[in-house]
Structure 1
Amino acid sequence: MAEIYVYADETGDLDMSGSVGASTYFGFGTAVFKGDHGHRLWEGLQLRCRLERRGVSLPQGLHAKNDSHTTRGEVFELIESQAPRIDTTFLLKGNAYERIREAGPMRLYKLAWYLHFKEIVRRVSSPGDTVYVIAASLTTNKKEGSARDALKDVCQQLATDREIVLCVWNAQTSWGVQVADYSLWAVQRILEGRKCSWYDTCITPTLETTFTPWGRAR
């Protein structure tokens, strides 16, 4: 029996109206570390401290969307050296089923998590294993409680022959969640036809899946 640590983050907003400014996709990404990976977490803390020493203020931790090009380069280099398993799932909101639109934003959130996690948990663990899911808390405070319930329900559904322990934490408290954030950011840029200079060297070597069940934007 093994212990597996699945760090999860979400990307995009839950707006399915097609309004200007809404994200093209909503999705989840995970970075998986098996067994004792304390040294990797320590490396993430060391990097954050070195950046602060150089004058880079990171009170909310690392976040690919907001970090500078230089900071991103250092983070991606560390992700490359650590080589966690990376998986992503993106739902093209423009192709959302009508029943999902009618059910509302949290239905989209829960479905994205279910479609992602039901495959990943089987691929990274075996019956009898303990899977720790460290998920970033939803950035919209109004929906945070509902999001936690959605994550919990999916984890309970899939915990038939293995133990799944859900931890919903602020992203800045966990290097693993920040790895998931950076990985999502890179994959999303490629899906949207934008450039990411670190994608080929730092992400693709351990990117196992990019699942787009509702298709891809043209």
Structure 2
Amino acid sequence: MAEIYMYADETGDLGVPGIPGVSRYFGFGMAVFRGDHGERIWQGLRLRCDLERRGVNLPKGLHAKNDSQSTRSEVFDLIGQQRPRLDATFLCKTNAHPSVRERQQWLYKLAWYSHFRQIVCQVSAPGDTLYVIAATLTTSRKIMNASEALKDVCRRFAADREIVLCVWDAQSAWGIQVADYSLWATQRFLEERPCKWFESHIKPQLCSLLTPWGTA
């Protein structure tokens, strides 16, 4: 029996596609570490502290969308060295059934279900313990609804595995920040936008890139 740590983050908004400023995709990404990975957590903390020492203010942790190019470069270098398993699932919102487009909770849950069901049996076996450490959303209502959606999907796969769901703030876990960075790079690749780190630092560890609703 093994212990697997699955760090998950989401990307994109839950808005109806076609409105200016609303994302084309909603997706989940995951960074998976097997067993004891304390040294890699320490490396992430050490990098964050060293960046602060050099004048980079990071009170809310690392976030690829907001970080500078130089900070991104250092974070991607560390992810490349650590080599976690990475997976991503993107739902193209313009191809969603109309009933899904109008119900944000359904979109969130479908994205999580599409992602989790593909990965759980690939990274674990019956009898294993999975710690699913997922990033919280930003508003109280979304946190409540998202937590229930996460729990419901996890329960569906818990018959022969112990699944422990932890819904944490992203800045509290290095693994969530790894998932965030991998999602950011993968989405840019999917949308054909430049990302100089995807081919060298993310793609070698990206075990799956799923687009079950096609692409935009």
TM-score range, shorter chain: over 0.9
Name the structure 2 match of 1:160: 159
Amino acid at match of 2:155: Q
Partner Cα separation in structure 2 for residue 7 and residue 170 of structure 1: 12
Amino acid at match of 2:22: A
Q: Please, what TM-score do these two structures have when normalized by structure 2?
A: 0.98
In the TM superposition, residue 82 of structure 1 has moved relative to its aligned partner by 0.2
In the TM superposition, residue 142 of structure 1 has moved relative to its aligned partner by 2.8
Name the structure 1 match of 2:50: 50
Deviation readout 1:59-113 (Å, 9 max, x if unpaired): 00000000000000000000000000000000000111123124x0010000000
The answer as to whether partners of 2:31 and 2:175 remain within 8 angstroms in 1 is yes
Amino acid at match of 1:132: Y
Name the structure 2 match of 1:132: 131
Q: How does 1:97-136 map to 2 (within 5 A)?
A: 97-102=97-102, 104-136=103-135
Partner Cα separation in structure 1 for residue 100 and residue 51 of structure 2: 42
In the TM superposition, residue 18 of structure 1 has moved relative to its aligned partner by 1.9
In the TM superposition, residue 203 of structure 1 has moved relative to its aligned partner by 0.3
Matched, 1:192 2:191: yes
Matched-pair identity in %? 65
Name the structure 2 match of 1:73: 73
Structure 1 unaligned segments of length 5 or more: list them: none
Name the structure 1 match of 2:83: 83
Q: RMSD in angstroms over aligned alpha carbons? A: 0.8
Structure 2 unaligned segments of length 5 or more: list them: none
In the TM superposition, residue 178 of structure 1 has moved relative to its aligned partner by 0.1
Partner Cα separation in structure 1 for residue 86 and residue 93 of structure 2: 22
Partner Cα separation in structure 2 for residue 24 and residue 167 of structure 1: 28
Partner Cα separation in structure 2 for residue 45 and residue 194 of structure 1: 30
- Partner SS state of residue 36, structure 1: coil
Q: Please, what TM-score do these two structures have when normalized by structure 1?
A: 0.97
Partner Cα separation in structure 2 for residue 201 and residue 17 of structure 1: 31
Aligned residues: 216
Amino acid at match of 2:165: L
Matched, 1:170 2:169: yes
Partner Cα separation in structure 1 for residue 183 and residue 140 of structure 2: 21
- Partner SS state of residue 209, structure 1: strand
- Partner SS state of residue 62, structure 1: coil
Partner Cα separation in structure 1 for residue 205 and residue 139 of structure 2: 30
Name the structure 2 match of 1:143: 142
The answer as to whether partners of 2:17 and 2:23 remain within 8 angstroms in 1 is no
